[in-house]
Structures are given as C-alpha cells and as structure tokens.
Chains A and B, each alone.
Chain A
Amino acid sequence: MKHKIKILSCITSFMVLWTVPVYAQNARDIMQKVLYRNDGTTEVSRQKLSTCRYVKKNKKLVCAESPRVKIFDSVRKDYGSNQKDTKSITIIRKPVSEKGIGFLQFDYEEQGRDSDQWMYLAAMRKTKRIVSGNSDEPKSGSFFGSEISYEDLEARHVEDYQYRILKSVTYRKRPCWIIESLPTPQRARKSNYSKSIQWVDKERDMILKTLVYDRQGKPVKQIVLAQVENVNDIWVARKIHVTNVQTKRRTSMSLESVMFNLEVPDSFLSQRALTSDTFREKHLSRLTKALQ
C-alpha cells in the first residue's frame, strides 16, 4: 500500500486502510439489500420509451433526429421464496406498425440459469423463443431497439460480483454510497461489461445512477434515475435516462403510470397472453383500469 497520507486526509485514509475488508463485506451487504429491496409482488405499468441519436449544440445535448417513441404496457409478477423468480410480459401499444408485439420473460434466482424470452410478432402471428448469443458468451440484443440491452434488464445475482465502496457522497441531495462492482470471472465471460459504478441511496436502498464500462474498459453507458417517488410505499423512479456514449444515443424511459401489488392471475403470464388478443385485452383492461 503506497497511499500518501497528508495531515488533512489522515483520518479518512486511515479508515480506508484499516477497514478495507469490513467495507468489502459492507459493500456486498449494501448491494444485497438493494437487490432484495421491496419492489412489490406485482407491478402493472404503462411506460414510454423515447430514443434518439444526440449531438452537442451550443454545449447542450439535442436530438439529431426525431426521437422514436414506443409506448407499452407491462406486467410483472414475482415468485419463489425470495420473490426472486420473476415473470413479466410487455405489450407494445405504439407505434401502430408494431402494435401488439409482445415479450414474455422469465428470470430465475438460480445462479447461472439464463432467462427465457419469447417474442410475439403480431403481424405474422408468430411466437419465437429468442436466444441471443452462444451459450457462455455475452448476450447481444437490445430492448425494443433502445439503448437498454437485454443484459441491463436481467435480474442480477449478488454472488456474481465483487464490490467495493469507493466513497460516501451526497448525490442529488441524497446520501449515497459510490460502489464499484466487478464481475467474477465466470460472470465476466457472459457479460458485455467489465465494471460498473453505482450511486446507492443509503436510506432507500436504490441505485440512483450507474456507470458501466465495456469489455475493453471504455465507458459505455450512463443510467440515471430521476423523479423518485413513493408509490404504494415503494420507491420508484418516474424517469430513467440511459445514455450510450459510444453510439451517442440516449433512451429516456418514463413511467406514465404504475401500480404495485395488484392481483395478477398466473395464467396471464404465459404465451397465451401474447397470442390471444381477447384473452390479453380482457385482463389488461381490468389491470390498467386501476392505473390513473
């Protein structure tokens, strides 16, 4: 350890030196708490996804072309003892040319088990199971062609990473830890990212900002959560801005409306909800009625 200790920073440095193992443990605990944060057993929402290629004009970001907007309804339900097996379904409402296209995704708590994913193409009336990437290789593919990739959406496993607290800060008036996560070697093989840095709200156990670095260690994405509100006792961000600095594109996701812990029948989270319009609309209209 070649830390240079100056008088002013003596105490902090001393603590960093002394408490590295404890911090490491704490960092993991913090992330564990984040991953197991109460996010409700079900979530029904309507979301808007806007993406554009941006350029800098007068030192400000502007869209270089009209943003592409997709509006979709989404239903999620958690299962298992830890509520960590998740099924979710997403149906596109707009644009018209893609209306009815749907996604069904199953995430599993079991470490190393890949998510299952089906896509329903409404115009062709076909459901396809989507496999992206060879096994044991990073997943390619993006969520609705946005800057959010499949990997960004997958449930994380706390054991897949090593954590380190970099600092304690106040970020956007919230007390935060800045935590670095490095994938374990097994995880690294399957990940598009080599590192991420997260700003974790100390009190609400939620990540407010994430920076991710690609496999070459170059910065690639910034994910910022904004307009954090309390809905049904659950902290939720109304806006998520994902910026890819390599492709120079930004996706803003806005949660138009959301409800937690509504009653969702298990039968809805199945391929039938993708293929059968009447079945799907019957349930969805009931669920979305609750939304304002």
Chain B
Amino acid sequence: MVSELLNRLNQWFEKLPDRVRQRRKMVWSLFVALTLLIASGGSFVRIDMTLDAFFQDDDPTKIEMNRFRSLFGSDEVAYVIYKTKDGDIFSEKSLQLVYEIQQELQNYRLLLSTSEASPLDHITDVKTILNASYMEAGENSLISRNFIGDNIPKTTEEREKIRKAALAHPEYPLLYISENTEYGAILIRTDFGTKIKGEALSVTADSDFEEKNLKTVDDSEIFGFEELNEDADFDVGSDSVDVIELGQTEGLPEYETPGMPDYAEFMRVLNAKLEQPQYREHLKFYPVGNPPMMAFFNDVIVEEIGTVSALSILLIAIVLWILFRSFSAVIWPLVIIVVSLLWVVGLIGWSGMTMTMMLNIIIFLVLAIGVADTVHILSGYLFFRNRGENHEQALRSVFRKTALACLLTSITTMIGMFSLLLVPIEPIQSFGLFAGFGVFIAFLLSVFVLPVMLDLWSPFATNPKKNNQRLDDDGQRLHFVQYILRKVEPLSYRYPLIVTLSFVSVAVILGYGMSKVKIDTNMVNIIKDGLPMRSAYNIVDNFMGGAGSAQILVNTGKIDGLKDPRVLQAMEDLQIFMKKEYPHLVTKSTSLVSISKDSFKALNEGQDSMYVIPEDPGILANTLFMFNNANPKERRRMVTDDYALGRISVNLRNSGSEEYNEMINKIHVFADQRFAELKNDYPQIQVRVTGTLAMLSQMTDYISWSQVRSFGLALIVISLLLLLVFSSYRAGMVALLPNIFPVLTIFGIMGYLDISLDTDTLLVAPITIGIAVDDTIHFLTHYRTEVSKHGNIKEGIIKAFRETGQAIAFTSIILSIGFLIFLMSSHQGLSNFGIMSAIAFFSALFADLFLLPSMCMLFKVRFKQKGAV
C-alpha cells in the first residue's frame, strides 16, 4: 500500500519539473504575487521577549505575581552601582555629586513641560545613602529623617562620623554602600509591570492653565485627577462601603507586560542623565537589575541576531560558492531561503500571534531546512548533469530520486514541530506551528519554484575548465568533497561490525556524559565574559549584595496578623535560615522584622540590646504604630495596610535557575514547618516565594522540561513514520539509531563540558533531529530504490552513497559553518547554540555516512517490494 503510494509519488515528482516549466510564467507571477502579499504581513509581527509572555493568564505563578504587584507594586529595580575616582564614596565631592544625581532623577519633571511624558516616569523612588531612611533616638525624642539629607557635611570629621554610622547600620552596607566604602549604589525603584490594562501608567502631570483650559474650568474640572471624577463622595468610613474581601482574586487587576523597547528607552534616558560630563569625570556607573538587563537584551542581542543572521546567510553563500563554483547555485538557494523566511514572518504577522525570542529558532530552522532541500536538489541535478544528462533529463532524474525524500523529510520535521502544539504554553505552541509551516514552505518553494529558476539560469557550465583533476571510474570530474567521500566509501561495507561497534561504544561514552547534563538557565552567565554588563554583575556580586531579588509573601489570612510577635519571630527565623543555608547567595533580607527591631531600639533610647522584636503584642502594636506615622512609605513596602500580608524581600547574588529553584523549594519546606505552629491561630497562613525570580525559575522549568519531553515525542513520531514509509521494522530500527546519535553527541559533550541545558542550547535538539532525520531519509530512499532494483546491499550502499553523500556532506558543511557565526554573539547562550549545532550537524553527517550503511549491511536491510519502474 504505502510503497505503491511512494512509487506513484516518485513518478509524479519525476513529471513535476516538466509540468512546472511549461507553466513557468504562471509559476513566476504566482511566486512574486504571493510573496508580496504574504510578506506584507511581516509589519504586523509583535515580539514580546519578557517573562510574562510565557505565562498564561490563569497560571498560578502569574496570579501570585499579580497579587504581589497589586499589594506592593513592581519589584523591578534599576540598581546603579557607582565607583568614585577618589576611591571614597564618602568624600565631599562624591557625596555632592551623588546628591545632585539623586536630585536630578527625582526632579527631572521640573525641566519638562507638564504634559510631556518621559521614560523616567517609570521611576517611583530614588534611594541612595543620602536619603536612606534613618531613625535616631535623641533625649526623649525620636528623629525620623533622611540619613544625610540635603546638607552635605563639610568637615572630614563629620563625614567620618557618617561613614562609621553607615557601616554600623543594619541595613545600609551591601545595599547602599560596599563594606570598603569604595562602591555606592543608587537604587531606582520602578513601576515596570504594574501598568493596569487599559489605564494610563502613572499619574501624569496636569496640563498648563492655558487660555483654553481656563475657559472650560467648572465644577467638573479635575486638573489631572481624572480618575476621581465621579467618586468625590466615595466614603471609606460609611458602613456600607464596598470591600473586596481578603484573598479574593476578583479584585486583582490585569497587568500589561512591559515591552523590551520600554526598558531600552528607560535605560537610554537614565544613562544619558548619568553619563553627563560633570558626573562622568568623577564617577563610573555599573547599572544592573532587570531594566538594564532587558535593555541590554533589546539593544545588543536583538540587534546582533539581525547581524548574525545576515552574516550566516553571507557565509552560507560563500560556502555554496566554494562547493558549487557557480553563482546561480548560490543565488537560487538564497532566494528560496529568504523568501521562505519572508513567508513565515508574513504569516506570523497575518495570524496576529505574538512571538517570543523563539522566532529566532524558526528563522534558523527554516534556514537549515531550506539549505538542505535546495542543496539536495542542486547537487543531484549536478550529479546527473555530470553523468551526461541534459538539463531536462537531469531535472527529471533528480526529482524522481530526491523530491520524495525532501517531501518525507519536510513532513517528518513538520510533525516534530507540530508535536509542540501539545505543550500548553502559548509561545511554544505558536513556535511549533510556525516552525512546522516554515519547513513546509521551504519544501514547497524548492520543489515548485527551483525548477523554473534553474531553467532561467542553471549552475552547470557546459564547458567546464579542466582544473579539477580528480576523476571517477567512468572518467568523470569529481568534486573534492566527492573525492573524499569516495575514499571513505568502502569503510561501511567492508567493516560494518567495527564501524557499528565503534559508534555504539562512542554512544555509550556520550550517554554517560548526557546523564550529567544539568538543566539550568543563568540570566547573567549568558552574557559573555568581559562585556560591561557582565563586569557590572561581577562587581555587584563581589562588593555589594547582588542584583537578584526574591520576594516572599507571608499571608496570615487575618487582619493584623503581622502585628503578632510570633509571626514576626517565624519570619525572622526564616530569614536567618536562608542566610545560613545559602550564605553565598543570600546577602540580605528585609521585612517588617527589621523595621520593628529598628523602631523598638529607637524607642528605647537607641540601646543595642533593644534591637529585638518586642514580645508583648501591645508594645509591638505601639512600635509599629510609631513607625507607620514616621515612615508610611517604607511601611507600605513591607506590609499591607491591614497587616494581613507581609513581604520578605531577599537580596541575592547571581546564580542559575537550578540553584534558585532548589533554594525556593527549601524555603517552602522550612516555612511550612516553621509556620505550622501558627496554624491554630492562622489556619490560612501561607508563605510563598514570588517575584521576578520565581517567575524566571518557573519559566525555565516549563521551557526545559516541556521541550525535552516534546522532542522525545517528536523522535517517536518520526520513527513511526519512518517505519511506515519504509514498511520494514528493520529499516525503521536501523534508521532510528543514526538519528539518536547526534542528539547523544551534543548532550554528551554538554555533560562533559559542563554546558547546561538552557533556553538557548535546548534549541539545538529540534534542529538536530530535523537535519539528522533528513540525512537518513535521503540516504534510505536512494538505498531503497537501488536495493529493490537488484537486491544487492553493497551495490545499494555504493549508489546511495555516491548520489546522496555529496548533498548530505554539503548541507552539513554549509550549515555548520553558517551556525558557527553565532560564536561572535555577545550572548554566551547563542554562542553555545551555534557551536553545538555545528557539532550536531557533523555528528549527523558521520552517523548517516558510516553508521547507517554499516547497519544496513549488518542487519541485511532489504525492502519487500519489487523494483520501482
């Protein structure tokens, strides 16, 4: 059944070039028209590279994050570390300049016309050692003020006193100042991620009282207080006030995900402020945190992906030329690849779906498959032309032999990609969908348009120069790649057992390495060493308390729960536990605990022995009352107004998602245990890690495991398909191993070299499987045709080797070199991706040239059907 269908298809494909060429005008005009139409959709493509994009709206992690945001605002901070020329952040000049920066960032609005929006409107607070909140006990008085304030001390003596006080303060070192006082930090809190859908982000300034405004001023005039327009009489004190009850999700607003360009724009304006000459001559800045990181990805990496893709296309063109020595053999594949890409991007645009950074993989996958399809057809065409066939006949021959294989490879790869639709994460689904389409588009264009292209301009020189002296048995010219192939050709049929065993033993070694592969994404380490962004992170990790943060939400489920000393005690124990368990990661944690202790000490004339949580609930309530009066802003950051939910904000040094995940689990386990005793009084008490870090961990987890699973699935589906196509269990089994081998190779190498499987290296797998399966199918279809003709396995191997070996080798060489361009990227992940892909292609090449024929020989793979034509 199947083989009959395949034979029919073969015949249909053989006639295809003639049919297409008869209607070449139609094909050309359809090709151009469709390209224009589809590609025009490209302008609608929306790319979202932020974390939120990976979460569905009802994802628990996202709901927790939104709850956190609605209670405490954004947790995204631009943390700008600075180092001074004089090496002392407490020198008069250093303090003065930092004061000026702080003023400038706080008062930037005064320089703008009131209605003008600025990216700096994202700033909600600017904190430095100068305006850090400070509580001091005087004689019978309590002073709550900024640590240094507006008046910079003029004498060395005063400044030394300040330095001492700052270093002794429980909160300042590692947050605002380094312990050697060489580094300081400007903490810029932002509102990123808290824009409620359909609402203006922050309160904008009112418009000026111009003549036209004055005329309309009346009862309803609002002067920038639009949102209160109809609610002037909303009475919080009324008995019938509308309240959304505690813990309800109903009241949680939906937040808009900030776009990458928003971060970039914010950092551009911020950096412009910082890099003014008067500051730059004395201060050096190292911005870290999510906004600078996202801006970096947006500016450097996204831009690089463009140049890197362009470069790899260029390199592919060069390699095509070296291999084929013909411009048309360079131009046509490139046109097909570029047009395929245009179609895919256009379709994405028309579909209206949002793409994530995975768009890049689609681009490279289409690139790889497009190269494979066109090179197979081109090299087959040249193979037959060299054998003396004319243009028309060579086209027929190559289509009969190769087109079916191309169809099969496209279908298998497409199915592999479509299997991703089973993963319930939208960006992965749309990736799978469009990657699948992309692969098929490349196939369609290669099969239908390439013949008319070759008709227009073919790569075969009718009068070849005799500069190539390598000849085959029939006295024909041999390309140097073919020449090498001839040399290694007999290996597989002479020593099938040795070859197979060597592959198996290498596979075992690689398999061991694979077992050591870690799934770990490290957002900082993917930036290459030596780049300013990476150095900034090294500084913040070495001298300050790190730029990462985790937020722990303590939900007591009861109003005033956090006024209970036992709850605070449990929170303190948790904070101590984290610091003890992860001393290299956790540098600091702040919560209502430190506020209570600091306030209690201040209320007790500043005695150090009173830096404790008051045990008496009444005294604690009074202490918190005092603090809330003194610094409501700080209090709001730590606990909700009703004291039902509190937050522990943890400062972390950089690490990978694996260690972070482990830490998050340990925190949950410890918290469940420690807070258990409070269950009687607070039955709903819950302690959960949230914040950007938790989202990152969850996302990495989703991506890694879901993809590992779905690629496994793809492999199974593809094997079944091979089985069906070749209607032979033996052939199916034989085909499987050479496909697993390249995957084993990359994962094995990653295991030995300690390269972890992250969101970037993970992408090697689908591309590898795609290419490896392609090679196998090409080889096996040719082999099958030959073997079924005369039943001679050795003859089949030789024929298949000669006809497809060149194409397989060419595609592998072209793609490897093309992907190696990624080594130039500032993105370590993309670099790893590039080199791993190159290794994978070569490993697939070796497996298909040596392992596959050896196994055919060893297992005597014959196909049931009798000769096709």
Q: Is the CB of A243 within 8 A of B209?
A: no
- Residues of B contacting A13 in the complex (Cβ-Cβ under 8 angstroms): 211
CB distance from B128 to the nearest CB of A (A): 15
Q: Which of B58-66, B222-230, B448-456, B547-555 lies at the interface with chain A?
A: B222-230
Rounded to whole angstroms, the CA-CA distance of A167 and B210 in the bound complex is: 12
Q: Is the CB of A247 within 8 A of B636?
A: yes
Q: Is the CB of B150 within 8 A of A123?
A: no
Q: Is B219 an interface residue (CB 8 A)?
A: yes
Q: Is B87 an interface residue (CB 8 A)?
A: no
Rounded to whole angstroms, the CA-CA distance of A171 and B203 in the bound complex is: 24
- Residues of A contacting B224 in the complex (Cβ-Cβ under 8 angstroms): 211, 213, 218-219
Residue picked from B218, B231, B631, most chain A C-beta under 10 Å:
B231
Q: Is A232 an interface residue (CB 8 A)?
A: no
- Residue-wise interface mask of B (109-132) relative to A, using a CB-CB cutoff of 8 A (1 in contact, 0 not): 110001000000000000000000
Q: Is A19 an interface residue (CB 8 A)?
A: no
- Residues of A contacting B150 in the complex (Cβ-Cβ under 8 angstroms): 134, 136-137, 189
**Given A63-B244, A216-B107 in contact, is the A243-B140 Cβ separation under 8 Å?**
no
Docked complex: B171-229 residues within 8 A CB-CB of A:
202-206, 209, 211, 214-215, 217-219, 221, 223-225, 227-228
Q: Is the CB of B616 within 8 A of A123?
A: yes
Q: Closest residue of chain A to B147, judged by CB?
A: A134
Q: Which of B235-243, B373-381, B434-442, B838-846 lies at the interface with chain A?
A: B235-243
Q: Is B6 an interface residue (CB 8 A)?
A: no
**Given A4-B211, A121-B622, A172-B219 in contact, is the A133-B145 Cβ separation under 8 Å?**
yes
**Given A131-B142, A140-B144 in contact, is the A246-B214 Cβ separation under 8 Å?**
no
- Residues of A contacting B622 in the complex (Cβ-Cβ under 8 angstroms): 98, 101, 121-124
Q: Is A224 an interface residue (CB 8 A)?
A: yes
Q: Is the CB of B618 within 8 A of A123?
A: yes
Question: In terms of DSSP, what is the predominant structure of the interface of chain B?
Answer: loop
- Residues of B contacting A140 in the complex (Cβ-Cβ under 8 angstroms): 144-145, 630-631, 633
Rounded to whole angstroms, the CA-CA distance of A252 and B223 in the bound complex is: 21
Q: Is the CB of A137 within 8 A of B217?
A: no
Q: Which of A30-38, A53-61, A262-270, A277-285 lies at the interface with chain B?
A: A53-61
**Given A9-B215, A141-B629 in contact, is the A128-B141 Cβ separation under 8 Å?**
yes
**Given A65-B644, A216-B109 in contact, is the A180-B625 Cβ separation under 8 Å?**
no
Q: Is A249 an interface residue (CB 8 A)?
A: yes
Q: Is the CB of B209 within 8 A of A166?
A: yes
Q: Is the CB of B144 within 8 A of A65?
A: no
Q: Is B538 an interface residue (CB 8 A)?
A: no
Q: Is B232 an interface residue (CB 8 A)?
A: yes
Q: Is the CB of B223 within 8 A of A52?
A: no
Rounded to whole angstroms, the CA-CA distance of A52 and B202 in the bound complex is: 20
- Residues of A contacting B231 in the complex (Cβ-Cβ under 8 angstroms): 60-61
Q: Closest residue of chain A to B204, judged by CB?
A: A218
**Given A127-B140, A169-B217 in contact, is the A52-B243 Cβ separation under 8 Å?**
yes
Q: Is the CB of A64 within 8 A of B244?
A: yes
- Residue-wise interface mask of B (138-178) relative to A, using a CB-CB cutoff of 8 A (1 in contact, 0 not): 10111111100111000000000000000000000000000
Q: Is the CB of B621 within 8 A of A129?
A: no
Q: Is A144 an interface residue (CB 8 A)?
A: yes
- Residue-wise interface mask of A (40-78) relative to B, using a CB-CB cutoff of 8 A (1 in contact, 0 not): 000000001111111111011111111111000000000
Q: Is the CB of A97 within 8 A of B236?
A: no
- Residue-wise interface mask of B (342-358) relative to A, using a CB-CB cutoff of 8 A (1 in contact, 0 not): 00000000000000000
**Given A60-B242, A119-B626, A218-B205 in contact, is the A166-B109 Cβ separation under 8 Å?**
no
Docked complex: A176-215 residues within 8 A CB-CB of B:
178, 180, 189, 197, 209, 211, 213, 215
- Residues of A contacting B424 in the complex (Cβ-Cβ under 8 angstroms): none
* A interface residues, how many (CB within 8 angstroms): 86
Question: In terms of DSSP, what is the predominant structure of the interface of chain A?
Answer: strand
Q: Is A155 an interface residue (CB 8 A)?
A: no
- Residues of B contacting A162 in the complex (Cβ-Cβ under 8 angstroms): none
Q: Closest residue of chain A to B112, judged by CB?
A: A217
Docked complex: B359-400 residues within 8 A CB-CB of A:
none
Q: Is the CB of A171 within 8 A of B219?
A: yes
Rounded to whole angstroms, the CA-CA distance of A189 and B149 in the bound complex is: 12
Work out how many contacts link A and B, with CB atoms closer than 8 A. Answer: 248
Q: Closest residue of chain A to B643, judged by CB?
A: A68
Q: Is the CB of B233 within 8 A of A226?
A: yes
Q: Is the CB of B243 within 8 A of A62?
A: yes
Docked complex: B538-589 residues within 8 A CB-CB of A:
559-560, 563
- Residues of B contacting A121 in the complex (Cβ-Cβ under 8 angstroms): 603, 622-623, 625-626
- Residues of A contacting B635 in the complex (Cβ-Cβ under 8 angstroms): 145
Rounded to whole angstroms, the CA-CA distance of A247 and B203 in the bound complex is: 11
Rounded to whole angstroms, the CA-CA distance of A98 and B560 in the bound complex is: 12
Q: Is B490 an interface residue (CB 8 A)?
A: no
Rounded to whole angstroms, the CA-CA distance of A123 and B230 in the bound complex is: 42
**Given A123-B618, A171-B219, A216-B110 in contact, is the A65-B244 Cβ separation under 8 Å?**
yes
Q: Is A239 an interface residue (CB 8 A)?
A: yes
Q: Is the CB of B217 within 8 A of A98?
A: no
Q: Is the CB of A129 within 8 A of B142?
A: yes
**Given A55-B244, A60-B242, A124-B603 in contact, is the A131-B143 Cβ separation under 8 Å?**
yes
**Given A131-B142, A245-B203 in contact, is the A211-B223 Cβ separation under 8 Å?**
yes
Q: Is the CB of A67 within 8 A of B241?
A: yes
Q: Is the CB of A131 within 8 A of B563?
A: no
Q: Is B628 an interface residue (CB 8 A)?
A: yes
Q: Is A26 an interface residue (CB 8 A)?
A: no
CB distance from B137 to the nearest CB of A (A): 9
Q: Is the CB of B232 within 8 A of A246?
A: no
Rounded to whole angstroms, the CA-CA distance of A101 and B628 in the bound complex is: 13
Q: Is the CB of B145 within 8 A of A98?
A: no
CB distance from B759 to the nearest CB of A (A): 35
Rounded to whole angstroms, the CA-CA distance of A148 and B327 in the bound complex is: 78
- Residues of B contacting A9 in the complex (Cβ-Cβ under 8 angstroms): 215
Rounded to whole angstroms, the CA-CA distance of A171 and B232 in the bound complex is: 12
Q: Closest residue of chain B to A150, judged by CB?
A: B629
Docked complex: B232-270 residues within 8 A CB-CB of A:
232-238, 241-246, 251, 253
> Which 8 pairs, one residue from A and one from B, show the smallest C-beta to C-beta distance?
A50-B237, A145-B628, A123-B618, A62-B242, A129-B141, A134-B149, A216-B109, A97-B621
25 contacts between A and B (CB under 8 A): A55-B244, A57-B251, A60-B234, A61-B228, A61-B231, A64-B244, A65-B246, A68-B641, A101-B625, A119-B626, A130-B144, A130-B630, A131-B141, A133-B146, A141-B629, A143-B629, A144-B625, A145-B641, A169-B217, A216-B107, A219-B203, A224-B233, A241-B233, A241-B234, A252-B238
Additional pairs, 4, CB under 8 Å, beyond known A137-B145, A145-B641, A243-B228: A131-B138, A131-B143, A132-B144, A211-B223
A interface residues (Cβ-Cβ under 8 A, vs B): 3-4, 9, 12-13, 16, 48-57, 59-69, 97-98, 101, 119, 121-124, 126-134, 136-137, 140-145, 166-167, 169-172, 178, 180, 189, 197, 209, 211, 213, 215-220, 222, 224, 226, 239, 241, 243, 245-247, 249-254
